[in-house]
Amino acid sequence: MKLNILAVILGIGFAVTGIFAFVSSETFFGLLGDYYGAFNSHFVKDAGIAFLSAGCLLLLSTRITKWCVPLTLGGSLFIILHGLFHIQMLIMGMATTALDVAIEIFIIISPSALAALLLILRIREHSQNSNN
């Protein structure tokens, strides 16, 4: 049950982010750091679709309990890989100010870590239930 609460919070957050990026691409991109380069509507909309899909799969994982692990995997894989890519960006020095680094950690890396945690805990819970 507690895992479902985390899945709902993340699912709603990712879905809302995805809708915002898709519907209002320029505004969404304008909130990002200058180090992201030039605005590309197609790219931002693709990212929006990926976030919306991830959020929907995480939300669905709370409703179809026998499929919660594969749905959580589907909903978290892009998010986790996206977070790892942003860690690489930070290591390479792309975010030059302390504020940019803090924003990257808070807005992108932390939710990615939570998605990874959710996936790990769902797999663990499924394993324990299978052994009983």
At 4-52, the pLDDT tens digits run 999 999 999 999 999 999 999 999 999 988 889 899 999 999 999 999 9
Phi-psi category of residue 27: left, alpha or beta, with phi > 0 → left and psi -120 to 50 → alpha: alpha
Instruction: Tell me the per-residue pLDDT of 82-113, one tens digit each, with 9 for 90 and over.
Output: 999 999 999 999 998 999 999 999 999 999 99
pTM of the entire structure? Answer: 0.93
The residue type found at 98 is A
How open is the CA angle 39-30-110, to the nearest 5 degrees? 105
How open is the CA angle 23-32-80, to the nearest 5 degrees? 85
d(CA 16, CA 107): 13
